[in-house]
Amino acid sequence: MAPPAMQSPGDLGAAAAGRPHVMFIPSAGMGHLLPFFRVIGALASRDDVDISVVTVLPTVSAAETEHFAGLFQEYPHVRRVDFHLLPFDASEFPGADPFLLRWEALRRSAHLFGPLIAGASPRVSAVVTDITLSSHVIPIAKELSVQCHVLFVSCATMLSLCAYVPVHLDSKAAAGEEVGPGVGDVDIPGVRRIPERCLPQPLLDLNKLFTKQFIDNGREIVHADGFLLNTFDALEPVALAALRDGKVVPGFPQVYAIGPFNAHTPTAAAKQPPPAGSPEAWLDGQPEKSVVYVAFGNRNAVSREQLREIGAGLEASGHRFLWVLKTTTVDRDDKAELEDVLGEGFLERVGGRGLVTKAWVDQEALLKHPSVGMFLSHSGWNSVTEAAAAGVPLLAWPRGGDHRVNATVVVSGGVGVWMEHWSWDGEDELVTGEEIGDKVKEVMSDEAVRARAARTGEEAAKAVAEGGTSYRNLQEFVGKLKAT
């Protein structure tokens, strides 16, 4: 296989003189890529860090392709490193999630990162990689005497779980306890007890591909040089303190809480009025805090039956709503017509007070719109932090993965409320439209919930402002890069 190609605009030696060169190695899935794009944007806006980004081809989704293109267009001085995967026979894992398959394909091609890092010019000072690749990339970086940091795309509570699960399993085995079929309840020292029903579903089976990856990564991350997290000290004080104090795992690497991450905001001159018919334009015509924003992430498909119950609930609630609907895991496969999904007559009945779209939206901007009063969400971590930053109450309905762990932070951090008994992927029970409608009405009218969310938004703004905790943590991270 030919070495990956690096596109190198301009005089790289002159451009990078005296600056650390950070190579970002992201994974796949917009939930993982968006945090990378936002951190890259934050560093690329400075003049003291040189950046290259490994772009894995082909991308899994159309959204990934578009966002990579947008990143390099916005920051032309950021160098793109095209990385082509080795052939991978996905038939080994019938029925597996396409994004989990991509992570496995990346791991099997990971040995190619060594020559890529070693041959880069200017010399790579540090690598920032995704948690899904850490068990492979960290040893490679160590062998090359290059710093390796992990950009962890979930919450600090989830990081503590990832770090502690191998210790938990080893302790059970050493005590002669039966291990399996799954991980079981996990009591994380200094953080909290995570019941098995709240763990990512694959952890219920130790033989699952994801579970093996999760444990491998958990064992290796203690050798990283540091962690960048999309959180802030006021949101997760207990988990961050436990990680930093070595309560979870002794000697755990430095944790830099630098969130909430913000998307690049165009200058006033570059801003354009939203096009007619767009979600932004529709929101412009709605009263303040009157709209329920509904979205379940970019790779979480909800069953057709449950989608219709959600529609019935939104209709019954009587509130205005903007619903970003998704019917497939990969956006390129989403061909369904809205009327076929939601039932005949639904769009006509809610016309005027409800807008349903399958288009990609700038969720961060929508949540900051003054007309949005609540967010019904799967509680993916990007969504949680965007709601926290906007001060918008979040009604958490976890669908899978880390979502129930994130939902514990939604409650403890004052972001919103969590319907703990509502079912998620793999469970047969439908949540009825009546129950959804009642809960939407309840949260929309709850001034205490709204006040807590507003206070969390104020804390988020303080964290990223000059002198705030996240601001200082980012400065400390850059200082560590410069010390190499």
List the catalytic residues.
32, 130
Cα–Cα dist 6/119, whole Å: 10
Cα–Cα dist 319/354, whole Å: 8
Return the C-alpha torsion angle 83, 89, 94, 95, nearest 10: 20
- For 268, residues 6+ apart whose C-beta sits below 8 A from its C-beta are none
The vertex-236 CA angle with 232 and 239, nearest 5°, equals 120
C-alpha distances in angstroms, 463 versus 138, 429, 476, 479? Answer: 29, 40, 14, 19
HEC-encoded secondary structure of 371-433: CEEEEEECCCHHHHHHHHHHCCCEEECCCCCCHHHHHHHHHHCCCEEECCCCCCCCCCCCCCH
User: For 297, left (φ over 0), alpha (ψ -120 to 50), or beta?
Assistant: left
What crossing angle do the helices spanning 134-143 and 209-220 adopt, rounded to 10°? 30
Q: Which residues pair with 295 in a beta bridge?
A: 324, 377
The vertex-250 CA angle with 233 and 470, nearest 5°, equals 20
Alpha-helix runs per DSSP H in 6-50:
12-15, 30-44
CA 172 from chain centre, in angstroms, equals 31
Cα–Cα dist 213/206, whole Å: 10
Cα–Cα dist 159/241, whole Å: 12
Cα–Cα dist 275/76, whole Å: 27
The vertex-250 CA angle with 248 and 252, nearest 5°, equals 80
Give the DSSP H/E element, type plus range, for residue 453: helix 447-464
C-alpha distances in angstroms, 365 versus 67, 141, 263, 274? Answer: 16, 37, 9, 12
